[in-house]
């Protein structure tokens, strides 16, 4: 079965969190996963590389950027939207 965008985003976040992908719940926040600001910047980079997209994200105003990082679910949706918008 083909790997979905959700699977790949979860794999990236899991790697940052040092967890198994199965342990990353969709309603988890980055705080729940123990991903700090540096970890988030690395995850954004990994997402850009994995999907060949530009993620509008500024570490100075993470909550104000168009890239919603509230939960794993919102990140997956944001990545899906960016892929659609940038293809």
Partner 1 sequence: MRRVVITGHGAINALGMSAAETRASMREGRSGIGPLEFQDVERLQIAIGGQIRGYRPEDHFGRQELTLYDKFTQFALLAAREAMAQSGLEISEALSEQAGVVLGTAGGGLQTQDENYRSVYEEGKNRVHPFVVPRLMNNAAASHVSMAHNLQGPTYTVATACSSSNHAMGQALNLIRAGQAKVVLTGGSESMLCFGGIKAWEGLRVMSKDGCRPFCATRNGMVQGEGAAVFVFEERDHAVARGAPILAEVAGFAMTSDASDIVMPSQAGAERAMRGALRDARLNPEDIGYINAHGTGTTANDRTECAAVRAVFGPHADRVMISSTKSMHGHLIGGTGAVELLACLMALDEGVVAPTINYRERDPECDLDVVPNTARQARMRAVMSNAFAFGGLNAVLVLTAPG
Q: Which residues bind partner 1 (CB under 8 A)?
A: 37-38, 41, 44-45, 54, 57-61
CA distances from 41 to 16, 50, 77, 79, 83 (A): 10, 14, 18, 15, 19
Minimum distance from residue 42 beta carbon to partner 1 (Å)? 10
Minimum distance from residue 27 beta carbon to partner 1 (Å)? 25
Which CB, 20 or 61, lies closer to partner 1? Answer: 61
Minimum distance from residue 69 beta carbon to partner 1 (Å)? 12
Smallest CA-to-CA distance from 78 within 32, 13, 2, 31 is with 13
What secondary structure does DSSP assign to 32-44, as a single string?
A: HHT--HHHHHHHH
């Amino acid at each position: 079965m083909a790997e979905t965008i959700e699977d790949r985003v979860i794999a990236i976040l899991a790697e940052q969190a040092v967890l198994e992908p199965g342990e990353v719940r969709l309603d988890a926040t980055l705080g729940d996963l123990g991903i700090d600001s540096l970890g988030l910047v690395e995850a954004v980079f990994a997402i850009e590389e994995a999907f060949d997209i530009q993620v509008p994200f500024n570490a100075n105003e993470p909550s104000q950027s168009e890239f919603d990082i509230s939960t794993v679910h919102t990140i997956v949706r944001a990545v899906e939207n960016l892929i659609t918008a940038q293809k």
